[in-house]
Amino acid sequence: MIATALQDLFGGKAAEAVLLSLFHQGETYGRAAARDFAVSLDGVQKQLDRFERSGVIVCKRQGRTLVYSWNPKSRLTSRLKDLTGVIYDGLSFEAKEALFSERRQPRAKDKPVIRQL
């Protein structure tokens, strides 16, 4: 597990998992964020609920899964996204590859999940 300033700012690993997952993938669901960051599903779901109540993220149902994404109507979202982007950009390539190694969407065979710039 890689600790970032998001963990200190928002008081836990679950908040860090949610924000970085949303930033990297654009949308996420509880089990995926919990699995990527090796944190409890309950903690991630509670954090998703908190962010949704604050209006920073929105939720839609896809089958039985609740999928969360950034709320484009919230003025706070762009600021939080910028802050998360600063932290995300500060992660090493190896750290990003370790955290987000699982594919969430179809890709060409042997195409890397993380692009190295």
Domains and CATH numbers, the chain: 6-97 (1.10.10.10)
pLDDT for position 99:
79
For residue 102, give Cα distances in angstroms to 27, 39, 49, 111, 113.
Answer: 14, 16, 24, 12, 8
pLDDT for position 98:
79
For residue 20, give Cα distances in angstroms to 6, 29, 109.
Answer: 9, 12, 25
Q: Are 86 and 70 in contact (CB under 8 A)?
A: no
pLDDT for position 94:
83
Tokens of 86: 């600063």
Q: Are 64 and 75 in contact (CB under 8 A)?
A: no
Query: How far is residue 47's CA from residue 41's CA, in Å, rounded to a whole number?
Result: 10
pTM of the model: 0.79
Query: How far is residue 54's CA from residue 18's CA, in Å, rounded to a whole number?
Result: 14
Query: How far is residue 58's CA from residue 51's CA, in Å, rounded to a whole number?
Result: 8
What tens-digit pLDDT sequence spans the chain (117 residues)?
566 778 778 888 899 889 999 998 889 999 988 988 889 999 999 999 999 999 999 999 999 989 999 999 999 999 999 999 999 998 888 888 777 766 555 556 666 655 555
